[in-house]
Structure 1
Amino acid sequence: MSKLSKWILAIILFASIVCEMPTISAKGETIIINTKSLNIRSGPGLTYPVTGSMKKGERAEVLSTSGDWHEIRFGSGKGWIASWLVVNEEAKEFAAMSAVSKVNALNIRTEPSLNAAVIGQMDAGESAVMTGRQGEWASIVKNGIDGWVHTDYITEIPQSEKRQTSTVDKPDIGSDQFTVSVDALNVRKAPGLSSKKVGLIHKGESYSVKEIDGNWVRLSLGKKTSGWVYSFHGTLGAKSVKGRESNTASSNKKVTVLTNGTNIRSSATTSSSIVVRANAGEKLTVIGEEGDWYNVSLPSGETAFIAKWVVSTGDVASAERIDKPKKKTARASGTLNGLTIVVDAGHGGNDRGTTGMQGTDEKLLTLMTAELLSAKLKAAGANVVMTRESDTYVSLRKRVSVSHQSGADAFISLHYDANPDTSITGFTTYYTHTSQKSLASSINDGLASTISLRNRGAQPANFLVLRENRQNAVLIELGFLSNPSEERILTTEMFREQATHGIYQGLLDHFDAN
């Protein structure tokens, strides 16, 4: 080979190597992985095989986008990743922003989801460095913790203005009345969250303003007494109805404890200390609400918190008005546009569910099925809410609460069955209330058209997630893990693909007919 030929060959080889190298295109968007580990798939959806993975902090170039999925350059090839688990590199701009909490006990979560684990909290007025945004969530860093908070409960301000709130957060000093806009608001001795509580005021009440210090307002409470409140929890303006006249409805609301030994806590979190325990049937007066908790008055005169999912209000009609979302978009036949569907992956965390003859954990199988079903429903236009998106424990009443809060058009609880008699096989769709029977029948028919297991039909059953659910709800047992032959079928990707398509078809048929 001549010297010239060798040079030409070397140039060709060099060019081919350069062309294969992953580069960051000036025209392409650069994203950063924002979860501990992210699967790379061969196509834009959870049904496609996993071809690799990336770790938190790694960067990639976006080549194209399909729905909620990004095509990226990966090694010498290409792959697809979920867009909701990454952030744009431009998120670095948010480092110059602060997120100031509007409420007490604002949860900081591991992921941008209400089902993600809580790793910390922020109280009203506390701030954190904002590092990015994803939909209705903001990523923050506080005291060394990286996490996510919901943007409904924060105010975003430039860090340079953090101490200069006069143009951002500070109320108008010329206003002479402060009107409470939350159910209950603590009054403190001094302008700070660590200051002693000296009273409690309620929604709609108005008080004279004596002084303003940053985000804090000192109010005249009568009889030469005064106290400080955080300004985010009210409005300053012209004089309005004063005192406690508007508190009648709030003070008359009562809740009933549902189980014996129910914990009543010092603050609105399960990690706070237990003040007292209540038994089933006891009624408590509600003086305020904080997230998923009621602030209640105890017989001793103290105030404490009880979780909403362990009590009954006895006022379904009013609760439905609160929980129902705003007007839905029109739905075309053959689609799920405008519908909200809650997909409930049964069990999770320390609740493994049943374990199959070959060691299959129900909790993991339900989650894989829920993820696949969610992808299909989203593709059909539905707004999908999952009660859990990882291997975490979620109480039954919390699952029902998610259904109520989202105003679900359908609540689908996914399970796999077991029986001491290992010869029993088949799938079953359960309902409790007669209003749920139509949905159960449609879904059961849909499953029967796609999977070859024995059809045990749509049957009534007394499951809590159905019994306590005000929304249209069903619980599906997709087969028996206790039967060795059926377990081998249930653990295949093919079965999950067929089963989720059957549920999807059943939902379409139900809503087209209703």
Structure 2
Amino acid sequence: MNDKILHKMTLIFLAFILLVPVMQAKAQEEEVTVNVSTLKVRSGPGLTYDTIGAVTKNEKLAVIGRENDWLHIKFGNTTGWVANWYTTSETVEMTNKQVVSKVNRLNVRTEPSTSSATIGQINEGNQFIAYKSEGEWVEIDFQGQKGWVNQSYITLIEQPSAEVKPAPAPTPSKEKLFVVSVDVLNVRAKADLSSKKIGQVEKGEQFEILSTDHNWVQVQLENGKKGWLYSFYGRFTDVDESPPSTDSNGTITVLYNGTNLRSDSATNSNVVKRADAGESYVVLESINDWYKVALADQSTAYVASWVVSPSSSTKGMNENIPEKEVESDRKKGTLNGLSIVIDAGHGGNDRGTTGALGTDEKGITLLTAELLSSKLQAAGANVIMTRESDQYVDLRKRVSIGHQVSADAFISLHYDAVENSSVRGFTSYYMHGYQKELAQYVHDGLADMISLKDRGTQPGNYLVLRENKQKAVLVELGYLSNPTEERNVTTPKFREQATHGIYNGIINYFDSQLD
């Protein structure tokens, strides 16, 4: 009898020991809690996907991925997608994890919020140690300090080695450098776009950073003068960069887990290998929108250029092609080679309008702008934001940003208000004849996606349109002075629909230029 009891106790003890790693793994897995009575589970990340089931209030969901405002979850024996705005999440510590940026100029912020200050930017393919996640944000080691990046624009991967070491602090021999990314960049006397211009620098020039002020870096020029450069038009590096080697085609770095490496340069060819984010391959040849790469077993494969980050030497493989010829290769449905300025209305001490229920316009214009930015970047656009936090930016400065980058489109986002609380709907404005077509396309895209009253496309004497030499549109996305409409337009669901509509309008506009 005692032997049987001892045998059972031994089995229970062994089972407990075996379950501990599983319990620990689950403790580290991100979970969210449903905060509405019933939440639909969909087959994909959007309201247009089919409903495959539902979950109920206070139910815990295991998150395995994210896309914009949608969560990829475990759902029974399969997976599904739920809207993030109907869930709440807790801070989850991370071990042996790295993040890989999927986009260029991804903001690193001081806090997990779009209203917090930007401490720097990272480019696609850059990798950083991850500390923890909080909702849709991940804390990383950024050049010796901690910062936050949005999960929509990164891929999480395992640390390549078992030992996790924080990035070393900069040493005097390897100062942080700023590398100019545009053809010509003005040097200002102060960290302000309206400040006196004291010189110009050119693409590829590198400078030691003397100090920073929000989105500005102070540098010393060859003539000894000190001035300020706008950091949107460059990138940061820790070492002096040598010119690309002429005897190598360079490398590419995979940006997404499960990326297909194929037998030929076509999406319908056989998959020979699946690669994860962070893996790098030597490029043998560039063929249209594909890279031919060398595999470890000496065989070759092809990978699409839009799912990888090329090294500087790889980018130089096609530099002998005339610029206009490269632009003409843009395919329908993409925005490759185009620069688009997104103007989040108001900011700082300019609150914009305040809704009947207390919503500040400046807050939701920024949220809308950031979501639109992610969609345009995913289509290949070079996106420049006139503001990236809760800061005041003069209207003329906003226009000058578009002029400085020769923007192909300038999109100004606003929410409306009038004394009459019954007025409702959305409106798209233009000022000059060369802006009208873009405004109409953007408006049509919105009309297809949102259910607000359509107030049409109209001329509007706004400074960001009147003084703008670029093709521009100012969109009023509903009336905050109407309590019912305010409740609607301030939801993540509406922002998802509205930004998708604007995105479609921009795509359709530039596609029409190729006809």
TM-score (norm 2): 0.50
* Cα distance, 1:469 vs structure 2: 1.2
Letter in 2 for 1:468: E
Deviations 1:176-216 (A, max 9, x none): xxxxxxxxxxxxxxxxxxxxxxxxxxxxxxxxxxxxxxxxx
Using the alignment, how far apart are the partners of 1:508 and 1:100 within structure 2?
36
SS in 2 for 1:449: helix
Deviations 1:458-514 (A, max 9, x none): 111111111111111110001110011111111112211111111111111111112
Q: Against the structure 1 CA distance between its residues 450 and 463, is the aligned structure 2 distance closer, same or farther, given a 3 Å change threshold? A: same
Using the alignment, how far apart are the partners of 2:452 and 2:432 within structure 1?
26
Query: Where do 5+ consecutive residues of structure 2 fail to align?
Result: 27-61, 71-83, 104-123, 139-150, 160-164, 180-186, 193-208, 225-230, 242-322
SS in 1 for 2:377: helix
Bigger mean CA offset, 402-411 vs 82-91: 82-91
Using the alignment, how far apart are the partners of 1:77 and 1:411 within structure 2?
31
Using the alignment, how far apart are the partners of 2:463 and 2:381 within structure 1?
25
Letter in 1 for 2:377: K
* Identical pairs, percent: 45
Partner of 1:249: none
Using the alignment, how far apart are the partners of 1:433 and 1:331 within structure 2?
27
Q: Against the structure 1 CA distance between its residues 395 and 54, is the aligned structure 2 distance closer, same or farther, given a 3 Å change threshold? A: farther
Letter in 1 for 2:455: R
Using the alignment, how far apart are the partners of 1:46 and 1:105 within structure 2?
39
Q: Against the structure 1 CA distance between its residues 374 and 53, is the aligned structure 2 distance closer, same or farther, given a 3 Å change threshold? A: farther
1:162-177 equivalences under 5 Å are: none
Contact kept? 1:479, 1:486, Cα under 8 Å:
yes
Partner of 1:92: 168
* Cα distance, 1:137 vs structure 2: 3.4
Partner of 2:18: 15
Q: Against the structure 1 CA distance between its residues 66 and 5, is the aligned structure 2 distance closer, same or farther, given a 3 Å change threshold? A: farther
Letter in 1 for 2:504: Q
Q: Against the structure 1 CA distance between its residues 394 and 78, is the aligned structure 2 distance closer, same or farther, given a 3 Å change threshold? A: closer
Q: Against the structure 1 CA distance between its residues 137 and 444, is the aligned structure 2 distance closer, same or farther, given a 3 Å change threshold? A: same
Q: Against the structure 1 CA distance between its residues 65 and 7, is the aligned structure 2 distance closer, same or farther, given a 3 Å change threshold? A: farther
SS in 1 for 2:371: helix
Match of 1:117 among 214, 218, 228: 214
Partner of 1:352: 351
Partner of 2:459: 460
Partner of 2:67: 45
SS in 1 for 2:9: helix
SS in 1 for 2:455: strand
Letter in 1 for 2:10: W
SS in 1 for 2:458: strand
Q: Against the structure 1 CA distance between its residues 353 and 20, is the aligned structure 2 distance closer, same or farther, given a 3 Å change threshold? A: same
Bigger mean CA offset, 72-81 vs 359-368: 72-81
Deviations 1:110-161 (A, max 9, x none): xx9xx982688455599xxxxxx999433xxxxxxxxxxxx6xxx9569xxx
* Cα distance, 1:22 vs structure 2: 6.4
Contact kept? 2:429, 2:460, Cα under 8 Å:
yes
Letter in 2 for 1:472: K
Aligned: 1:369 with 2:368 = yes
Using the alignment, how far apart are the partners of 1:124 and 1:91 within structure 2?
29
SS in 1 for 2:373: helix
Letter in 2 for 1:137: R
* Cα distance, 1:7 vs structure 2: 3.4
Partner of 2:491: 492
Report the number of matched residues. Answer: 305
1:8-407 equivalences under 5 Å are: 8-21=11-24, 43-48=65-70, 49=84, 52=89, 60-62=95-97, 67-68=102-103, 81=151, 91-92=167-168, 94-95=170-171, 97-99=174-176, 117=214, 121=218, 123=220, 136-138=234-236, 156=239, 328=327, 330-407=329-406
Partner of 1:447: 446
Partner of 2:9: 6
Using the alignment, how far apart are the partners of 1:325 and 1:431 within structure 2?
28
Using the alignment, how far apart are the partners of 1:497 and 1:363 within structure 2?
18
* Cα distance, 1:400 vs structure 2: 0.9
Contact kept? 1:22, 1:75, Cα under 8 Å:
no
Using the alignment, how far apart are the partners of 1:60 and 1:441 within structure 2?
49
Query: Where do 5+ consecutive residues of structure 1 fail to align?
Result: 24-39, 127-132, 139-150, 159-323
Contact kept? 1:367, 1:389, Cα under 8 Å:
yes
Higher relative contact order (CA 8 A, sep 6+): 2
Bigger mean CA offset, 9-18 vs 469-478: 9-18
Q: Against the structure 1 CA distance between its residues 123 and 369, is the aligned structure 2 distance closer, same or farther, given a 3 Å change threshold? A: same
Bigger mean CA offset, 437-446 vs 7-16: 7-16
Using the alignment, how far apart are the partners of 1:93 and 1:54 within structure 2?
26
Contact kept? 1:403, 1:411, Cα under 8 Å:
yes
TM-score (norm 1): 0.50
Letter in 1 for 2:175: S
SS in 2 for 1:2: helix
Contact kept? 1:346, 1:415, Cα under 8 Å:
yes
Contact kept? 1:22, 1:76, Cα under 8 Å:
no
Q: Please tell me the root mean square deviation across aligned C-alpha atoms, in Å.
A: 4.5
Contact kept? 2:99, 2:154, Cα under 8 Å:
no
Partner of 1:470: 469
Letter in 1 for 2:471: N
SS in 2 for 1:457: strand
Partner of 1:292: none
Letter in 1 for 2:385: M
